[in-house]
Amino acid sequence: MARPSKPPVFLARASYRQRRLRDAARLLPMVAGVLMMLPLLWSRSDGSGLPTSVVLIYLFVLWVVVIALAALLSRLIDPDHEPGATNIEDLK
């Protein structure tokens, strides 16, 4: 007697990648916010800390990197992908 076919245990690879990309896009602003506040920890109580120029360069570079990552994620995320699709047949 033939066994009935079971649904796949794992998600389709394309669906899984799209979900992780969407998760990364949701997490990016929070990580960027924490990294933007990091220079507040660099100052010392005696007033000796990093020069303002170094902090501004850090913030500018971080800002450019966050913009580049957001642009990359927006290119990789498929807008036609349905978040509830679990099988390859559902994606077609």
Rounded Cα distance between 82 and 15, Å, is: 9
Q: What is the mean pLDDT of the chain?
A: 82
pLDDT over threshold 70, residue 1: no
- For the chain, the domains span 13-38+51-86
Q: How do residues 32-77 score in pLDDT, each as one tens digit?
A: 999 999 988 887 777 777 888 999 999 999 999 999 999 999 999 8
Q: What percent of the chain has pLDDT over 90?
A: 46
Burial class (CB in 10 A: 0-12, 13-18, 19+), 77: middle
- Left (φ > 0), alpha (ψ -120 to 50) or beta: where does 47 sit? left
Rounded Cα distance between 86 and 92, Å, is: 11
